[in-house]
Chains A and B, each alone.
Chain A
Amino acid sequence: MTDRWKLLRSILIVAAAVALIALPFVAAMLGSTYAITLATRLLIYAMVATGLNLILGYGGLVSFGHAAYFGLGGYTVAILAFHLGEGTSILGFPGTNEALVAWPLAMVVSGLAALVFGALSLRTSGVYFIMITLAFAQMTYYVFVALKYYGGDDGLSLARRNTLGGARIVDAQTFYFVCLALLALVIGVVQRMTVSRFGMVLSGARADERRMMAIGYSPYRYRLTAFVIAGMTAGLGGALWANLARFVSPDMMAWTKSGDFLAMAILGGLTSIAGPVIGAAAFILIESTLSGLTEYWQVIFGPIVVAVALFAPRGLWGMLAGKQER
């Protein structure tokens, strides 16, 4: 890594951080609530993509069912709020609208699902892994479609946003900063992980599974741990999404959503911390620009995705970094 690239990279990261912090103020000055909602979506997607990148980029495991954990996180928040509204209990506990309870619980629910699905899926590899993760996500999707009590196909609406430590998060700007802080936290944790022994074993197993086993590591446990962490991250993202949209539905778990998450991670560039964030940003900007231009935006968006897969396998960040890294 040359010094010039190091400097450039630092400048880019600082610039991005400044832009993300300044964005809501600029949006408020322009009186644009659309921009701030769009930016919040970006943060949430970036969080999910960052978690996914841990297994996809570092672990080399193509999970095609990541939307399931995203949806489960969202539904956890919505179901707790639903029971609070109805005055009923769920599994003996009352409902709640408190983020400090609901969000960690969303992560636990998604994490547990990832533990079970991951434990089974990781017995396979390659294409089988792709398809079995997809199948588990579809299974979760259909369970929620069939759950008429929680709205089935129509989903659930949330009357209001969660309270955070008792305080209400009323305006879009505050919620944006909550999301930004959590994204920073997630990026920090994932970054620490990738440079730790855990991350090294995970990357090592991707590069050469046999060799890792020969020096005494069992890749399965490391992969499962990474899978669960990615699931929990998606769960947190889903919880935030439920608060942003104030609505959850099985569509959050649709397999096209899993495809979107994959596309974001690859678009930005795998095996880098900045990649998923850039990917999510690019994805949302392209999608919202094109869908503003024409109703048939997929006709343009599809070929862009194809082109990235064919010609830019290292993603936007990878292209920028050129031969500087690795």
Chain B
Amino acid sequence: MELFIEQSLNGLQLGLTIFLLAAGLTLVFGIMGVINLAHGSLFMVGAYGAALTAAKTGSWILGIAGGLAASALTGFLVEVAIVRRLYHRDHLYQVLATFGLILFFNGLVALLVGRAPLLMETPKALSGFVEILPGIPYPTYRLAVMAVGLTVALGLWLFIARTRTGMLIRAGSTNRSMVAALGVDIGRLYTLVFSLGAMLAGLAGLMVGPIRSVQIGMGEQVLILTFLVIVIGGIGSIRGAFVGSILIGLVDTLGRAYLPSLFKVFLTGSIADGLAGTLSSILIYLVMAVVLVVRPRGLFPVSE
């Protein structure tokens, strides 16, 4: 039971982290129609920005600021220099251009920082454990990550549902030429949304830093998870991204934790381990395949 609670919390934490990435990716696609593979690079930039700033200044708060600034600025530059030219292009070229960007960013980080992974320390104030239920301690840092994820989800919902900019974003995703015709500077709106998405990706990256190591290629692994999430949720839907993130986070974490013991009920040791290992690593892909067979446009389809 303790294990189940702990693993469920881990799953939630993974899900909420993925949501930070998925929200940006799904917004960028929903509003601008751009598929951005380089979203994982922005995640990496956020983590490196934070790790380097924190190491230089010795302050994790400055580290967070550094990570957010680095990813938002990178996102801004990428949008202005490249993504802006891709809005009306075929998805094929969007895939190719942003694939090129991934290569560039991976090479650039290797050149500037080196290939050795960076270690990022957990902030002192958050390094302890909290007893969530009698007898079940849980790392404070992971709880803090969840709190940030939930806060951002709530804030994003308020921003999109309640503010004027949010209204323009919703309008832009429904009919962009109409919004432009009404005198809204759609280019500026796009830049804003892209930079915001980049900053959220960077936030996810810098929060993951102390849990895993900060290294080149960290963005790609998480990018594919993010794709699964937004495909399952329905591309362009924030609500879908939220539900999909939590679903994938829980399925992946619990699958890895419980499949081996489940298989041992029916099968002997090594076969059970092998099968469970295989199945738990592809479980999330199976979930996606099932969702798409039943609902080809995801759980919360966005009408076009």
Is the beta-carbon distance between A127 and B278 smaller than 8 angstroms? no
Q: Tell me if B137 is interfacial: C-beta within 8 Å of chain A.
A: no
Q: How far is the CB of A212 from chain B (nearest CB, A)?
A: 19
Chain A contact residues: helix, strand, loop or mixed = helix
Chain A positions within 8 Å of B277 at CB level: 146, 148
Is the beta-carbon distance between A143 and B100 smaller than 8 angstroms? no
Can you report 27 residue pairs joining A to B where beta carbons are below 8 Å apart?
A56-B92, A62-B92, A126-B91, A127-B91, A128-B297, A130-B95, A131-B230, A135-B227, A138-B224, A139-B282, A139-B285, A142-B278, A255-B220, A255-B224, A259-B99, A262-B95, A262-B96, A298-B106, A299-B107, A299-B108, A301-B104, A302-B107, A310-B93, A310-B97, A313-B89, A313-B90, A313-B93
A120 CA to B298 CA, complexed, in Å: 14
Listed stretches B120-128, B180-188, B287-295; interface member: B287-295
Counting chain B residues whose Cβ lies within 8 A of the other chain, the interface size class is 35 or more
A190 CA to B53 CA, complexed, in Å: 54
Chain B positions within 8 Å of A255 at CB level: 220, 224
Is the beta-carbon distance between B282 and A143 smaller than 8 angstroms? yes
> Which of B93, B107, B235 lies in contact with A298, CB distance below 8 A?
B107
Chain A positions within 8 Å of B286 at CB level: 139
Q: Tell me if A304 is interfacial: C-beta within 8 Å of chain B.
A: yes
Chain A positions within 8 Å of B94 at CB level: 309
Q: How far is the CB of A211 from chain B (nearest CB, A)?
A: 19
Is the beta-carbon distance between A146 and B104 smaller than 8 angstroms? no
Counting from the closest, the 7 A-B pairs by CB-CB distance are A302-B104, A298-B107, A305-B100, A302-B103, A309-B97, A299-B107, A306-B100
> Which of B29, B82, B289, B293 lies in contact with A306, CB distance below 8 A?
B82
> Which of B103, B228, B285 lies in contact with A305, CB distance below 8 A?
B103
Q: Tell me if A198 is interfacial: C-beta within 8 Å of chain B.
A: no
A13 CA to B95 CA, complexed, in Å: 30
Chain A positions within 8 Å of B107 at CB level: 296-302
A139 CA to B37 CA, complexed, in Å: 18
Chain B positions within 8 Å of A299 at CB level: 104, 107-108, 111
A76 CA to B123 CA, complexed, in Å: 49
A266 CA to B110 CA, complexed, in Å: 27
Chain B positions within 8 Å of A313 at CB level: 89-90, 93
Interface centre among A146, A147, A304 (most CB of B within 10 A): A146
Is the beta-carbon distance between A148 and B82 smaller than 8 angstroms? no
Q: Tell me if A124 is interfacial: C-beta within 8 Å of chain B.
A: yes
Chain A positions within 8 Å of B102 at CB level: 302
Q: Tell me if B296 is interfacial: C-beta within 8 Å of chain A.
A: yes
| Known contacts A139-B285, A301-B107, A127 near B93 by CB under 8 Å | no
A142 CA to B224 CA, complexed, in Å: 13
Q: How far is the CB of A265 from chain B (nearest CB, A)?
A: 9
Is the beta-carbon distance between B235 and A128 smaller than 8 angstroms? yes
Q: Tell me if B243 is interfacial: C-beta within 8 Å of chain A.
A: no
Q: How far is the CB of B224 from chain A (nearest CB, A)?
A: 6
A246 CA to B89 CA, complexed, in Å: 41
Q: Tell me if A145 is interfacial: C-beta within 8 Å of chain B.
A: yes
Is the beta-carbon distance between A306 and B297 smaller than 8 angstroms? no
Is the beta-carbon distance between B101 and A135 smaller than 8 angstroms? no
Chain A positions within 8 Å of B103 at CB level: 298, 301-302, 305
Q: Tell me if B105 is interfacial: C-beta within 8 Å of chain A.
A: yes
Q: Tell me if A106 is interfacial: C-beta within 8 Å of chain B.
A: no
> Which of B89, B96, B101, B292 lies in contact with A128, CB distance below 8 A?
B292
A301 CA to B231 CA, complexed, in Å: 30
Is the beta-carbon distance between B288 and A64 smaller than 8 angstroms? no
Chain A positions within 8 Å of B37 at CB level: 259
